Amino acid sequence: MKIAIIGGSGFVGTRLVELLSSYDCELLNVDKQQSVFYPDITVLANVLDKEQLSKCLHNVDVVVLLAAEHRDDISPVSLYYDVNVQGMRNVLAVMEQNHMKRMVFTSSVAVYGLNKNNPDEEHPTDPFNHYGKSKWQAEQVLQEWYQSHPDWNINILRPTVIFGERNRGNVYNLLKQISSGKFMMIGSGNNKKSMAYVGNIVSFIHYLIGNVQEGYHVYNYIDKPDLTMNELVTHVSTVLKKHIPSVHIPYTLGMLGGYGFDFLARITRKKLTISSVRVKKFNATTQFDATKALSTGFVSPFSLQEGLARTLEFEFIHNASRGVVFYSE
């Protein structure tokens, strides 16, 4: 089997290549950036350039589409739709041109919006930001495509926030702040946060490639059970073997601080780690139903607590990244 990973030079793609390399398959990474770890299988191309893509993708059995604009602060906002939506159209056109009929696409639980009540895959979509809106539009492109291509196999994965070794996103920033001992809890800390360890995400993608080879399917992916913010702080304290005091501040005060950082970012034209959007995300309840993914027979190789422990030990005990990291949300 030949598997093409589009956007495989990033955080999830690198871990997926690492996993798939241990199996009997041929791998191709198509990305606009060179892979630090797998340059020998990487071809440089942009999803916005159909000619480039067409030159790369030949005799491929499965396309895994990871490429996306996903940060909170992308400017101009049209890039979300150029890359995430038009990029999808370009990939589908090239796949049809080259007689490829199987895709695994990583969408996002951002399509549901904030503060929903444990939505499953049938829950109405209500994205609140351009990232979520563009991911939902990309899914709609796939829905329309499948209606006229019923012999294709399309698997859509909607993961919650992904974390793991070498990632520099929201979860890493949160773990770093907690581990520093200077952590301020916004609100009560009883809101639950769905998370997914990267080792489980790539294992589920591998499972879909091998075991769900027909039809059109959508899966939420979350590592269960969800932890409250208070439970997360306790787990970090246990793994790092240190007392971590937690100061609680009211949500309203936290949002005011977020707006202040928004203003500061605008006048300095710098990307700051704190913003009103991130405060809102931090305090939101983000629980999602993962029953459908579990019903496939997939068994995650790591528990959520194990994934957190592996990340904490790698980053904050052994400091093992040696500067090779991936920035995301």
Of 260, 259, 319, 255, the C-alpha closest to 284 is 255
Cβ neighbours of residue 247 under 8 Å, at least 6 residues apart?
A: 183, 184, 185
- The count of other CB atoms within 10 Å of the CB of residue 143 is 13
CB neighbour burial string for 230-263, b if at least 16 within 10 angstroms, e if fewer = ebbbebbbebbeeebeeeeeebeebeebbeebbe
Give the pairing type, strands 62-65 and 102-106. Answer: parallel
For residues 267-290, average pLDDT: 84
d(CA 77, CA 254): 26
Query: Considering the chain, what percentage of its residues have pLDDT values greater than 70?
Result: 99
Please indicate, yes or no, whether the overall pTM of this predicted structure exceeds 0.85. Answer: yes
CATH for 2-167+193-225+287-302 is 3.40.50.720
Better pLDDT: 271 or 131: 131
Q: What pLDDT score was predicted for residue 72?
A: 67
Among the residue ranges 76-80, 119-123, 217-221, 320-324, the one predicted with the least confidence is 76-80
Confidence of residue 181 (pLDDT cuts 50, 70, 90): confident
What average pLDDT does range 6-29 have in this prediction?
97
Residue type, 162: I
pLDDT at 74 over 80: no
Give the residue numbers marked as catalytic.
131
pLDDT for res 214: 98
